[in-house]
Amino acid sequence: MSLFPVIVVFGLSFPPIFIELLLSLAIFWLVRRMLVPTGIYD
């Protein structure tokens, strides 16, 4: 994943709450992409 190094850098630069928010958004986006491959909600 190309975003992993970026997430690590942000995690080192900001408090843990930011990394948690970024991870939740990333997981939500990935799940939506997997469950809705047709992009009906876009």
Give the pTM. 0.44
* pLDDT score of 38: 62
Question: Residue 14: left if φ>0, alpha if ψ -120 to 50, beta else—which one?
Answer: beta
Q: What's residue 20's pLDDT?
A: 82
**What would the pLDDT profile of 1-42 be if each residue is shown by its tens digit?**
567 777 677 666 667 777 788 888 899 988 888 777 665 555
> Which of the 8 DSSP states describes residue 39?
-
* Angle (deg, nearest 10), helices 4-13 and 16-35: 150
